[in-house]
Amino acid sequence: MAVFERLTHLFSATGSSLSSTLFPENSPPPFTSFTVFLLEVSQTPFPLIDQNYPNFSPIHKTVNLDLPITDPQAETFRSCGNDVVVAGFVLFFPNYSSFLAKPGFYIEDIFVRECYRRKGFGKMLLSAVAAQAAKMGYGRVEWVVLDWNVNAIKFYEEMGAQIMQEWRVCRLTGDALQAFANINI
């Protein structure tokens, strides 16, 4: 994803830093803290999955494609079960609007691996987040897009999202954050 967004210079995560910060012991439950939906695909019937998760039941969909998908990295992305491969994910967490007086969800990352694109899987991930927001009575789902990513912008507008042209994100990080935290005003 960092490669696609031309942002590898900002990337410093490792497997263990991700798991220790996203899924620490005693972490708050999904939807009140960080949540990841994994998109898993299988070309044979899906293994039976325990539906009794306390917070979320897996969503199953059967998709008919015109052409079979060849996944050159299937081995690397193999998940539980013989034929199950991770094809993408969406990472999100609650935010809050004081104008609406309602929480919402902020989508930090949404990603579908290259060979699975243009088949509706991205829309499926977004719609799962929207459905969860609606179910919880939340007011908004928000995310950001790079202004040169015209395909993504077109896709988001077609699904009913507004692109907020007037707002700019401000970021305080690294040494500047430390310095500002230490000023004694």
Query: Smaller CB distance to a second copy: residue 70 or 182?
Result: 182
Nearest C-alpha neighbor of 104 from the set 132, 135, 134, 141 = 141
Residue from 160, 157, 77, 151 nearest 118 by CA? 151
Residue list 99-158, contact with a second copy (CB under 8 A): 99-104, 106, 108-109, 120, 123-124, 126-127, 130-131, 133-135, 139-148, 153, 156
Supply the minimum distance, in Å, between the C-beta of residue 29 and a second copy. 10
To a second copy, the closest distance from the beta carbon of 82 in angstroms equals 26
Among 30, 49, 77, 93, the residue binding a second copy under the rule CB under 8 A is 93
Contacts of 170 (CB under 8 A, 6+ apart): none
Given 53, 96, 138, 156, the catalytic residue: 156
Q: Binding of a second copy at residue 91 (CB under 8 A)? A: yes
Site membership for a second copy, residue 54 (CB under 8 A)? no
The two three-digit tokens of residue 126, written as one number? 């977004």
Q: Is there binding between residue 181 and a second copy (CB under 8 A)?
A: yes
> Which residues make Cβ contacts (< 8 Å) with residue 50, sequence separation at least 6?
none
Interface pick for a second copy out of 70, 98, 118, 151 (rule CB under 8 A):
98
Active-site residue, 156 included: yes
Q: Give the pair of three-digit tokens for residue 10.
A: 């900002």
**Closest separation in Å from C-beta 30 to a second copy:** 13
- For 128, the token pair is 């799962």
How far apart CA 165 and CA 127 sit, in angstroms, is 23
Interaction residues for a second copy, span 33-52 (CB under 8 A): 33-34
CA 34 – CA 21 distance, rounded (Å): 9
> Does residue 56 interact with a second copy by CB under 8 A?
no
List, by residue number, the catalytic residues: 156
